[in-house]
Amino acid sequence: MTSVTIIDYGMGNLRSVQKAFERIGQSAHVTSDVAEIAAAERLVLPGVGAFRDAISAIRRNDLTGVIRDYIAADRPFLGICLGMQLLLDASFEDGEHEGLGVIPGTVQRFDLSSEFKIPHMGWNQLTLEGNSQHGLLRELGTEPWFYFVHSYHVVPGDKSWIAATTDYGRPFVSVVAKSNVMATQFHPEKSQSSGMQLLRNFVSIGESAVCSAR
């Protein structure tokens, strides 16, 4: 069985993500150790809270370089919720803050009419887009439901990253996937059967699956 490593940078619902992997029969290790993160077979960056606090914590724990190097080494990586947003160039949450710069683009607040509450919270559906053939989304059906809690959303500068969108007043990007890098705006660990299938897909992605999705 391959191993899953969950990054602990002092923020995020780490135990619930770990328990979700355990529910599908996959062991998962939570760590902030740079050497363990560098040696991971599959790496997960979860997150809840404010972008500024999260990126500051990542830098304070000297994790920026190891995350970027891991991704550059073409090994499977999954960002969840805030962990997805941190991959972008910058966020405009409470000012402008530089992200990890893995995915070109920015993180922006929802700009919606008053009939739509912010944060966007609850169950919503995915609409599969151009990069939806990525292995992360297999066996989910055409419009699966997932659980969201967020006030900001990613706006990739390169549309080839977009694997799925979700409608909330207008469409926003809810899944990005390219090669070994995958990320979701929703919480798969809170999304029942669809979430568990997505985590199984992530665990099953190996070198051949990653290469075929490029």
Q: Taking each helix axis from N to C terminus, what angle separates 51-60 and 64-72, rounded to the nearest 10 degrees?
A: 90
Residue count of the chain, please give it.
214
**Catalytic residue list contains 153:** no
From the candidates 22, 36, 81, 153, give the one annotated as an active-site residue. Answer: 81
Residue 6 forms beta bridges with which residues?
A: 30, 44
From the candidates 29, 143, 187, 207, give the one annotated as an active-site residue. Answer: 187
DSSP output for 18-83: HHHHHHTT--EEEE--HHHHHT-SEEEE---S-HHHHHHHHHHTT-HHHHHHHHHTT--EEEETHH
**Catalytic residue list contains 96:** no
Residue 169, C-beta contacts closer than 8 angstroms, at least 6 positions apart: 110, 112, 113, 115, 116
From the candidates 97, 129, 134, 189, give the one annotated as an active-site residue. Answer: 189
**Catalytic residue list contains 81:** yes
Residues with catalytic function: 81, 187, 189
